[in-house]
Amino acid sequence: MPNEYKTQTVLSRRRMMQALLAGAAVPAFLPARAHAQDQAVVVSNWGGDWNERTMRYVERPLLEDRGFRITRDLAMEPERKAKLLGEKRIRRASADVIHLNSSDAFEMRQQEVVDDLDLSRIPNYADVVEELRTPYFVPWLYSGVVIIYNKDKVAEPPKSYAELWDPKWAGRIGLTNQLYFNYMLMAGVVAKGGMTDADDGKPLLERLAAESRPRLYAAHQQLQAGLANGEVDIAVNYKARGLQWAHDGQSLGMQFPEEGAIAVTFGACLTTYGQNKDAGYDYLDAMLDPTAMAGLAEASFYAPANTKATLTDELRGLIDFTADERAKMRFLDYAYVARNSAAWLEWWNKSFAI
């Protein structure tokens, strides 16, 4: 608690007695200040349309309109992770809640900068899809890495990740730096068949860069523009992103890869050294609000983690996966990704993103 706050609120015995004799409700005054302070929460999140939807469906209606003060710290996940890790030394985090994917959440828990959760303080967690639950992470939305293609230009799209290396797709494929480790895992699946074979996939990625010359974009929005203006005809990205772009008017199709799509789950964690734990828990519970999740699913085309989210059969059929597809989904080995992600990013920047 700041010293100036103590000075303002700690009353001498004499002043306290005077206040009580005057009928002032001093005990009610002090908790009111503390409660107002608890309503502040700092949120570390991606920017762009992801943050805009977070604000529209969760932060504004469920929190800010009810008195919460939200400060947003927006950046890509490598920068936000590095910041959180750097703050571990001083035992004080600048953010209370951090949005991450499930793999990064595992890494941050291993580094002891996010907490195991008291689920009794997140009532909506009781309705989370069983397969997505972990003790330190609130899953929110999920999808899979599929092959997205321009239906007007690609009559027979690649049916597998492996077919992306076919010379006929040279110069027609678009990738984004945001999915670098997904591409490394994809190449490992093509090379050896497993989700722990990224090193074996490196030569394949080098070959793809040299022979097929894929266009590399900084972020999803730039890749969307590349598909729209004809720079590329094929993208490897989340199914949800492809559905968003199709909803925006692009003539796009989605191909579930024969090897099985690499799964992706997004959510948030409570930081270990954040200053506003109570508000952080309120924020995490609001994320799982079934009405908010239904709105998010309709706007983002990610499947909601809350089973109580009310979706039409048509929307659920569009954004979710069939039983056969779910059985083939490629889930991450979190420990493997955590051990290697920093080295992969360095390799990607030096050997592929050049």
- Does the structure show a pLDDT above 50 at 100? yes
- Does the structure show a pLDDT above 80 at 33? no
Domain 144-263+326-352: CATH superfamily, name plus number: Periplasmic binding protein-like II (3.40.190.10)
Residues of CATH 3.40.190.10 domain(s) within the chain?
Answer: 3-141+265-323, 144-263+326-352
- Tell me the DSSP string of 300-352: H-PEESBTT----HHHHHHHS--HHHHHH-B---HHHHHHHHHHHHHHIIIII
Helix H or strand E encompassing 109: helix 102-110
CATH 3.40.50.150 is held by the domain 3-141+265-323:
no
pTM: 0.78
Q: 44-66, pLDDT tens digit by residue?
A: 999 998 999 999 999 999 999 99
What average pLDDT score do residues 65-83 get?
96
Check residue 15 and give its pLDDT: 38
- Tell me the DSSP string of 16-58: HHHHHHTT--HHHHHHHHHHHHHTEEEEEE--HHHHHHHIIII
Check residue 326 and give its pLDDT: 85
Check residue 322 and give its pLDDT: 87
Helix H or strand E encompassing 82: helix 77-86
Q: 165-209, pLDDT tens digit by residue?
A: 999 999 999 999 999 999 999 999 999 999 999 999 999 999 999
Check residue 38 and give its pLDDT: 54
Per cent of the chain over pLDDT 70 is: 89
Q: How far apart are CA 111 and CA 100, in angstroms?
A: 14
